[in-house]
Amino acid sequence: MSEVFYPGKLDCMPDKKIFLARAGARYGKLDEDFIHRVNELFLIALEKIEPVVYYRTSDLSILPKEIIPSSFGNIKKMTIFLSTLGSAVDTLISQLSEQGKTFDAFIIDSWASEALETLNENFDQSLRERFGMGTMRFSPGYGNVDLRINKYIVKEFLGVDQVTVLDSGVMVPRKTTTCMVGWFNEEK
Amino acid sequence: MKRSEFLQMLREKVLFLDGAYGTEFFKRGYKGLIELLNISKPEIVERLQSDYIQAGANILLTNTFSANRMKLRAHGFESEIEKINFNAVEIARSVCKNQLVFGDMSSTGSFVQPFGEISFDEVYEIFKEQASILIKAGVDGIIIETMSDLKELKAAILAVRDLSNDIPLIAHMTFEEDGKSVTGTSVEIFATLMNDLDVDVVGVNCSLEPKQMLSIFARLAKYSKKPLSVEPNAGKPFLENGKLSYRTTPEEFAVYMADFVELGANIIGGCCGTGPEHIKVMTKYIGTQKPRKREIIDIQYLSSRTNLKPIDTFLIIGERINASGKKKLQAQIQQRDFSGVLTLAQEQEQEGCTAIDINFGIEKLLRKEHFQQAIIQLDKHSCLPVSFDIQNLDFLEIAMKEYVGRGLINSAFAREDHLVERINLLKRYGGLLIVLAMEKDIPKTAEERFQLVLKAAEILKGNGVELDRVYFDPLVLPIGAKNDYHVTLKVIDLINKAGLRSSIGLSNLSFGMPNREHINAAFLALCVENGLNAAILNSKEALTMGALQGALSLQGKEIVKVENVLHDPLVDIIIKGQKEQLMNVVQELLKQHDPLYISQQVLAEAMKKIGTLYANGSIYLPHLILAAETVQPAFDYLNNLLGESRIKLGKILLATVQGDIHDIGKKIVATVLRSGGFEVYDIGKDVPAEKILQKCKEYNPDIVGLSAMMTTTVGQVKEVADLLRSEKINVFLLAGGASMNQQLADQFGVMYAKDAVQALEFCKKFVQGGAK
């Protein structure tokens, strides 16, 4: 089945400018107190995450047609990976919300989304170093690939038990994504 | 590497410095003078520097932080200075590929006069020697870091620049959490002086972790016109499994370092406690970034070591330190008695001046030492910024060299040779300038004088001097000699309309006239109406000061506010160092009270108030030292009157621990403790635990105070504490110094005092039975 990669936390540290923009704030315009508060939340969240990536590369022949993005064109192989920050950060966001700490919950939620994106980007780069020229990274829910295909990807293709996939294709833990990259050449 | 190449690199991307050396070697099991490793175990240095290169550093510092002659002498390795520095460069070079090697220099460990004994010229030579070896050995640049005395930093900068105009130079100071160095210099004073001096990058390092350093860096970024660098510590050290550790994780360090980049840092790295892992996480997290553009405050300032005065409002320069025609003052100055000068400086500050003019008049009868000593004394008394009304160019240079801050040259003629000589001093030492609207003779008409102003402005611009650093003096001539004051008013108006600043010497107007104050006041109001920006005047003239205030109010402007934090006259006398006045007060009090009452209820209470002023940041360390020195003779005098029943609260033994040669902090503590009524035995620096034990047996002190400045020597405090306890020496143990903190003190089983005032407080509590 799939291979597992345990990234370091550094691989998940998002650019502050980007995650703050996601939260609707401009990094360069923030006052110092705000920055201190954001940094505290950054470090609390970083402490909580348990990042892991499950991945598998295969020929197109064994994949269902509906999983292959139409934009991938003439590829030979495809890597599909699932990345998750784990459930603890979900719990943290819920607890903060329940305690009425909406600001903290909001910032950490934005942070975690961008942390996951940072992880995906770093893992994507490592794949490209291995496989050479590839397509853009793609996720179900866009283009012709239905979000509900996640159930197949997670349970059947990758065989990941730690992630629950709802009938809608939404995954739990919430900070989880599935991605795919097509390769034009053989592995280096 | 050429400066222009380095500056181009800084424009292109944020560069990464390496991390700490001392604390990292310490973590790796090496103690003592780590610079010795350059000759004894170069492979150890090479390994650490390779780790920093692997971690992504673009700039490696040589392992030469303490490799100046003075520090090496203290450790007995003076003869190895050349080899230690030269090898350091070779080792760094051997591990570099495309990275840069910067020669690392820091303090001599002693303060320059007036806070220490060493002279400006001596430290200059010490730095010049080290920089010379580093440059000859082939460094790409020099960094001067962890400096807490602006004067010592200035000496180091001049020493490097006198060796090479083309070597890239980074200048750093270290600040406390309130943004002031231990010598009372604010980050703004540092930034504005560095704007003038010939350095390429300015920055802050050490003392603080990133979280604490951020606000200080933000202030630096607002005031500095130079590219910026920053190297915070990884927090204060604490003891973990018998080893010193640092609180700030590599991730936290990196998260905060991103903020420094956002605030405009061009170079980022780590100081004490940071290691290759901190640098690795930082470089990976921050990646390749272009430096941010900063919004810099565009105001000019005058400054002394502790006073910063913006000149965007009206500048009042006190004229009364002018010895011409004052025989008593002349005689005092000739005998190098500057008490009269100091009194006049303090009076003029109280009267609302923003700077004080120094004109000794009798220059032909004086030598350079007179000017040197005068400036040192004014610095010691934490005076206002100085206007150098000195005609002899050599004397002017001596005064500017010794001066700490951004002073005002008063003045240059609008004649190229005279002006360029003073521009050169301005460029070397920093500051502002007054240019007279005359060459050899004073032109009669306003137009002629204004043409000279324009000519001087061109010369200034051609020599790279920004015109907002210059006042033009339209010249005020005595009306008693039938001079038309309208000419001056007209020139002020023309200068103002040209967007330039003007300044006058007011009192010349009424020379030889009755009711001078009335005339001066009326004329000053007219000048303000015409756009005058500054005046050298007699601030004792209430009418003149009132007219000025009124004229400015009509224009919606105001004089720079005078912050007077002192409300107690006795405290005022003590802080100003007025020993004679204090003794007079004591003599008066003795008519009604006994010596014990005066000592404990009057002087001790005044010192308590001074301690509070220091603690809340209203006064600075120089004030505190001066106050302690001022009050000591009064205490001694009262003690002598008490005879056998003299007051000594207790005996205190002070020492800087083994391996540490930093002395000044302990000396300050000793001074303050003595002034607080304790008998102090200061047994020096670099003192082994066994010697402290031996001295304890000899002196039988009630309290032992230990000082540790270096993170690599702070563990010695525990060694001493453990030894004294094992030998059943029953003393109250107190520790302080830059590397100590509350947590370490708790772990070592000693009391932590963050400064001299707190040390006094704890010692008093202890002898009164209130501290354990």
> What confidence tens digit (pLDDT) does each residue in B16-72 have?
999 999 999 988 988 889 999 999 999 999 999 999 999 999 999 999 999 999 999
Cα B771 to Cα B764: distance, rounded to the nearest angstrom: 9
Is 70 exceeded by the pLDDT of residue B212? yes
From the list B215, B251, B284, which residue is nearest A46 (CB)? B251
CA distance A9 to chain B (A): 8
Helix axes A32-48, B210-223, angle to 10 degrees: 150
Judge: A39–B211 Cβ closer than 8 Å, yes or no: yes
CA B104 vs. chain centroid, Å, equals 20
How do B228-231 and B308-310 pair as beta strands? unpaired
Give the residue on B whose Cα is nearest the Cα of A44: B252
pLDDT tens digits, A18-65: 999 888 888 888 888 889 989 999 999 999 999 999 999 999 888 999
Task: Report d(CA B535, CA A150) in Å as an integer.
Answer: 79
- Residues B144, B131: Cα–Cα separation, whole Å: 10
Instruction: State how far residue A144 is from chain B, nearest Cα, in angstroms.
Output: 35
The per-residue pLDDT for range A63-88, each reduced to its tens digit, is 999 999 998 988 989 999 999 999 99
Q: What is residue B670's predicted lDDT score, i.e. its pLDDT?
A: 85
- DSSP H or E run through B547: helix B542-554
List Cβ neighbours of A62 (8 Å cut-off, separation of 6 or more).
none
- The whole-number average pLDDT for the span B742-762 is 90
Query: Of the candidates B255, B281, B292, which has its C-beta nearest A43's C-beta?
Result: B255
Contacts of A65-68 spanning 24+ positions with Cβ under 8 A? A66/A144, A66/A145, A66/A146, A66/A149, A67/A140, A67/A145, A67/A149, A67/A152, A67/A153, A67/A157, A67/A180, A68/A145, A68/A182
Interface test with B, best of A12, A13, A18, A126 (most B CBs within 10 A): A13
What b/e sequence results for B309-348 when a residue is b if at least 16 CB atoms lie within 10 Å of its CB, and e otherwise?
A: bbbebbbbbbbbbbbeebeebbebbeeeebebbbbbbbbb
Cβ-Cβ pairs closer than 8 A, A with B, add up to 36
Confidence of residue A187 (pLDDT cuts 50, 70, 90): low
> Are the Cβ atoms of A13 and B255 closer than 8 angstroms?
yes
Measure in Å the smallest separation between the Cα of A28 and chain B Cα atoms.
6
Cα angle at A107 between A106 and A110, to 5 degrees?
85
CB contact under 8 A, B285 and A13: yes
Task: Report the run of H or E that residue B46 belongs to, with start and end.
Answer: helix B42-54
Q: Average per-residue pLDDT in chain B? A: 92
Q: Is there a contact between B453 and B498 (Cβ–Cβ < 8 Å)?
A: yes
Determine the residue among B285, B289, B290 to mutate to test chain A binding: the one whose Cβ has the most chain A Cβ atoms within 10 Å. B285
Residue B748: partners with Cβ closer than 8 Å, 6 or more residues away: B239, B717, B718, B721, B735
- Which residues in chain B have their CB less than 8 angstroms from residue A9's CB? 251
B212 touching A (Cβ < 8 Å): no
Q: Could A16 and B292 be called an inter-chain contact, meaning their C-beta atoms sit closer than 8 Å?
A: no
In terms of DSSP H, where are the helices of A49-158? 88-98, 102-131, 150-151
pLDDT digit string, tens, across residues B374-416: 999 999 886 899 999 999 999 999 999 999 999 999 999 999 9
Give the chain B residue nearest A33 (alpha carbons): B215
Do B214 and A13 count as a contact with CB atoms less than 8 A apart? no
Listed as own residue / partner, the contacts of A87-96 with beta carbons closer than 8 Å and 24 or more positions apart are A87/A172, A87/A173, A88/A48, A88/A49, A88/A50, A89/A45, A89/A48, A89/A49, A89/A173, A89/A175, A90/A172, A90/A173, A90/A174, A90/A175, A92/A44, A92/A45, A92/A48, A93/A174
Name, in order, each residue with C-beta under 8 angstroms of B152's C-beta and a sequence gap of 6 or more: B107, B108, B111, B112, B123
- Residues 6+ positions from B541 with CB-CB distance below 8 Å: B516, B517, B520, B521
The reply to whether residue B251 touches residue A9, judged by beta carbons under 8 angstroms, is: yes
Chain A residue numbers touching B214 (CB-CB < 8 A): 32, 35-36
Cβ neighbours of A36 in B, within 8 Å: 211, 214
Mention every residue, 6+ apart, whose C-beta is less than 8 A from residue B48: B21, B24, B25, B28, B276
Whether residues B251 and A39 touch (CB distance < 8 A) is answered with no
**So what's the pLDDT on residue B752?**
94
CA of A68 vs chain B CAs: smallest distance (Å): 33
Cβ distance of A16 and B258 shorter than 8 Å: yes
- Phi then psi dihedrals of residue B629, to 5 deg: -65, -35
Give the 3-state secondary structure of residue B682. Answer: strand
Distance CA B454, CA B498 (A): 9
Question: Does the CA dihedral B525-B526-B530-B533 come out positive or negative?
Answer: negative
- 8 A C-beta contact, residue B639 and residue B677: no
Q: How far is CA A162 from CA A16, A165, A170, B459, in A?
A: 29, 10, 14, 76
* Contact yes or no for A35 and B218 at CB 8 A: no
**Among chain B residues, CA nearest to A42:** B255
- Whether residue B432 has pLDDT greater than 90: yes
Q: What is the pLDDT of residues B657-701, one digit of tens each?
A: 987 777 677 877 887 888 888 889 999 888 999 999 999 999 999
Instruction: Report in angstroms the alpha-carbon separations of B590 from A142, B641, B642, B662.
Output: 92, 10, 12, 41
Report the chain A residue with the minimal C-alpha distance to residue B251.
Answer: A10
The CA distance from B87 to B447, in Å, is: 64
For residue B263, give the chain A residue with the closest CA.
Answer: A28
Q: With a cut of 80, say whether residue B560 has pLDDT above it.
A: no
B292 near A CB under 8 A:
yes
| Environment class of B755 (CB within 10 Å of its CB; exposed 0-12, middle 13-18, buried 19+) | buried
| Pairwise CA distance, residues B2 & B57, whole Å | 20
Q: What is the DSSP letter of B112?
A: B
Nearest CA distance, A183 vs chain B (angstrom) = 27
pLDDT over threshold 90, residue B646: no
Q: Do B258 and A36 touch (CB under 8 A)?
A: no
- Chain A residues whose beta carbon lies within 8 Å of the beta carbon of residue B285: 10, 13
Task: Select from B214, B262, B278 the residue whose CB has the most chain A CBs within 10 Å, as the one to mutate to test that interface.
Answer: B262
**Type of residue at B582:** L
- Write down the residue that tokens 């590599």 correspond to: B250
Cβ–Cβ of B215/A32 closer than 8 Å? yes
pLDDT value at A5 more than 70: yes
Residue in B211, B251, B262 closest to A13 by CB = B251
Instruction: State the Cα–Cα distance between residues B119 and B123, nearest whole angstrom.
Output: 7
Please list the residues that pair with B104 across neighbouring strands. B143
**pLDDT at residue A186 above 70?**
no
As a whole number of Å, the end-to-end CA separation of chain A is 22
Q: How much is the CA Rg of chain A, to the nearest whole Å?
A: 18
Count of alpha carbons within 13 angstroms of residue A69, beta-carbon side: 20
Q: Which residue of B has its CA nearest to A37?
A: B211
> What is the biggest distance separating any 2 CA atoms in chain B, rounded to whole angstroms?
88
3 state SS of B116: coil
Q: Which one of A30, A34, A39 makes the best mutation probe of the B interface by having the most chain B beta carbons within 10 Å? A: A39
- Written as six digits, the tokens of A175 are 């900070």
Helix axes B187-196, B150-163, angle to 10 degrees: 20
d(CA B17, CA B201) in angstroms, rounded, equals 13
Q: Tokens 């007209």, residue?
A: B490
Check: CB of residue B214 under 8 Å from CB of residue B255: no
Place of tokens 């505190």: B624
Answer whether B277 touches A (CB < 8 Å). no
| Closest to B259 measured CA to CA, from A20, A107, A22, A35 | A35
Q: What is the pLDDT of residue B561?
A: 55
For helices B276-286 and B42-54, what crossing angle results, to 10°?
A: 20
Residue A42 to residue B255, Cβ atoms within 8 A = yes
Residues of A in Cβ contact (< 8 Å) with B218: 32
Q: What pTM does this model have?
A: 0.86
Query: Which pair of structure tokens corresponds to residue B401?
Result: 């060299």
DSSP string covering B558-573, please? -BPPP------HHHHH
Record: contact B254-A13, CB cut-off 8 A: yes
Q: How far apart are CA A57 and CA B549, in angstroms?
A: 81
pLDDT of residue B566: 53
> Does the beta carbon of B218 lie under 8 angstroms from any beta carbon of chain A?
yes
Query: Mean pLDDT across the stretch B335-364?
Result: 93
Q: Are A16 and B251 inside 8 Å of each other by CB?
A: no
Residues 7..66 of A with a Cβ closer than 8 Å to B: which? Answer: 9-10, 13, 15-17, 27-28, 32, 35-36, 39, 42-43, 46
Contacts of A10 in chain B (CB under 8 A): 251, 254, 281, 284-285
What average pLDDT score do residues B150-155 get? 98
Residue-wise pLDDT for A99-154, tens only, equals 888 889 989 999 999 999 999 999 999 999 999 999 999 999 988 899 999 999 99
How close B212 comes to chain A (CA, Å)? 10
- Nearest-by-Cβ selection for B284 from A10, A27, A35: A10
d(CA B53, CA B555): 60
Q: State whether B258 and A35 contact (CB < 8 Å).
A: no
The secondary structure of residue B314, as a DSSP letter, is B
B545: part of which helix (H) or strand (E)? helix B542-554
Going by C-alpha positions, the residue among A129, A119, A109, A131 that lies closest to residue A179 is A119
Which residues partner with B203 through β-bridges?
A: B172, B229
The pLDDT, as a whole number, for residue B671 is 79
Question: For position B647, what pLDDT does the model report?
Answer: 64
Burial zone of B237 (CB within 10 Å; 0-12 exposed, 13-18 middle, 19+ buried):
buried
Q: Return the axis-axis angle of helices A88-98 and A32-48, rounded to nearest 10°.
A: 130
* pLDDT at B609 > cutoff 90: no
CA dihedral B618, B619, B621, B627 (to 10 degrees): -140
CA–CA separation, B649 and B24 (whole Å):
42
Instruction: Judge whether B657 is closer than 8 Å to chain A, CB to CB.
Output: no
Cα A173 from Cα A86, distance rounded (Å): 6
Residue B247 contacts A where some CB pair is shorter than 8 Å? no
In this complex, is the C-beta atom of B222 within 8 Å of any C-beta atom belonging to chain A?
Answer: no
Distances in Å between the alpha carbon of B237 and those of B147, B179, B350, B442? Answer: 20, 21, 44, 65
